[in-house]
Amino acid sequence: MNNKIIIFGTGEIAELAFYFFTNDSEYEVVAFAADREYIDNQNFQGLPLVSVDTLINVYPPSQYKAHVALSYSKLNQTRKEKYQQIKEMGYDLVSYVSSKSFTWPDLNIGDNCFILENQTIQPTVKIGNNVMIWSGNHLGHASTIKSHTYISSHVCISGHSVVGESCFLGVNSTIKDFTVLGDRVFVTMDSSVTKNASDDSVIVGPSSKVYESDSRIARALKKIYFDL
């Protein structure tokens, strides 16, 4: 089995990915990669750090796999772009699912996911590619989480819900059963979502107030949190 991987990234998420892959997976991290302009030395976490433009020559995809370890910058757009770049270079992108989470054998999960400890993921849940799920969440049965989405901690997604692509769900947010969120929806901390939300909307507070993409409040909040 080819279990040697390269982690793309040199920030906090990359450090955590290194720790979790090293201590709780079958994979061995052998190096890190980053864009050339973000490299100021040749090592990170005691391992080689190489520029992504030379990655194929040093660690060819025929011999190594990869994992893109970036956060939710630009409402997940940066992570999505780097995921697509590394995938187009020919690398198989591996996922991490904590052994300290509860899942069922039918879990349907894409590549390059990063799912931390203390999840309850119920039967027939589907998770797309490049999804990040932080600690301690509930994903209800028959729910779907689409690609490039970021779920913070202590989020409750009730059964048969759909969370669109590149969404962000804040800490302690709640999604009512059979609710559908469009793409790039920003659910703020402590929000309670009881109705469907269209693409690019922002949901604030326990009253489930939805601000459409062209509203001043939605634009201001996305500027503060994601610099969009």
Q: Name which of 74, 72, 19 is nearest 46 in CA terms.
A: 19
Q: Name which of 202, 180, 177 is nearest 191 in CA terms.
A: 202
How many whole angstroms separate alpha carbon 133 and alpha carbon 126? 13
For the stretch 3-13, pLDDT in tens is: 999 999 999 99
Which of the 8 DSSP states describes residue 102? B
For the stretch 68-89, pLDDT in tens is: 999 999 999 999 999 999 999 9
Query: Looking at the whole model, is its pTM more than 0.75?
Result: yes
Phi/psi-derived region of residue 46, left when phi > 0, alpha when psi is between -120 and 50, beta in every other case: left
Structure tokens at 4: 């040697």
pLDDT number for residue 38:
87
Provide the pLDDT confidence category of residue 51 given band limits of 50, 70 and 90: very high
pLDDT at residue 155 is higher than 70: yes
pLDDT number for residue 1:
58
For tokens 């009730």, the residue is: 158
Residues 6+ apart with CB under 8 A from 181: 161, 162, 163, 164, 167, 175, 187, 193, 196, 197
Straight-line distance from the first to the last Cα atom of the chain, in angstroms, rounded to the nearest whole number? 42
Residues 6+ apart with CB under 8 A from 212: 198, 200, 201, 218
pLDDT at residue 208 is higher than 70: no
Q: Which domains does the chain possess?
A: 4-88 (3.40.50.20), 96-226 (2.160.10.10)
Residues 6+ apart with CB under 8 A from 4: 27, 28, 30, 63, 64, 65
Structure tokens at 16: 């955590």
Phi/psi-derived region of residue 130, left when phi > 0, alpha when psi is between -120 and 50, beta in every other case: left
